[in-house]
Amino acid sequence: MGRKILWYGIVLLFIIGIAGFVIGFGNAIFIGADIAKPPETSEHAEEPDNGAIPHEDHQIVALGDSLASGTGDTTGQGFAGRVAEAVRQQTGKSVGLYNFAVEGMRSETLASMIGSLEVKDHLEAANYILISIGGNDLKDLTDIPFGKQDQIYTEQLSAYLAHLENALQDIREINQEGMVVFLGLYDLDYSDPGSRENAYVLEWNYQTQLLLDKYANTVFVPAYDLFQLNMDRYMFFDGIHPNDSGHEAIAKRIIDSLMPADGLR
* Bridge partners for 183 per DSSP: 221
Residue 62 located in a structural domain = yes
Looking at the fold, whether 149 and 224 belong to one and the same domain comes out as: yes
Per-residue tens of pLDDT for the chain, all 265 residues:
444 444 444 444 444 444 443 333 333 222 222 222 222 223 333 333 344 556 788 999 999 999 999 999 999 999 999 999 999 999 999 999 999 999 999 999 999 999 999 999 999 999 999 999 999 999 888 888 888 999 999 999 999 999 999 999 999 999 999 999 999 999 988 988 889 999 999 999 999 999 999 999 999 999 999 999 899 999 999 999 999 999 999 999 999 998 765 556 5
- Where are the alpha helices (H) located in 129-213, listed in sequence order? 135-139, 149-174, 196-212
Looking at the fold, whether 3 and 62 belong to one and the same domain comes out as: no
In this structure, what CATH number is given to the domain that contains residue 204?
Answer: 3.40.50.1110
The closest of 183, 106, 195 to 146, measured between CA atoms, is 195
Asked if 212 and 179 count as a contact pair (C-beta separation under 8 A), the reply is no
Neighbours of 113 (CB within 10 A): 19
Range of the domain at 229: 58-259
The closest of 182, 147, 190 to 164, measured between CA atoms, is 182
- Where are the alpha helices (H) located in the chain, listed in sequence order? 2-36, 66-69, 78-91, 110-114, 117-124, 135-139, 149-174, 196-212, 224-228, 231-234, 244-262
* Number of domains observed in the structure of the chain: 2
Looking at the fold, whether 3 and 116 belong to one and the same domain comes out as: no
User: In the sheet where 218-221 sits, what is the strand order?
Assistant: 95-99, 58-64, 128-132, 179-183, 218-221
Q: How many residues does the chain have?
A: 265
CB proximity list for 238: less than 8 A, separation 6 or greater: 72
Looking at the fold, whether 98 and 227 belong to one and the same domain comes out as: yes
The closest of 245, 104, 259 to 181, measured between CA atoms, is 259
Looking at the fold, whether 27 and 141 belong to one and the same domain comes out as: no
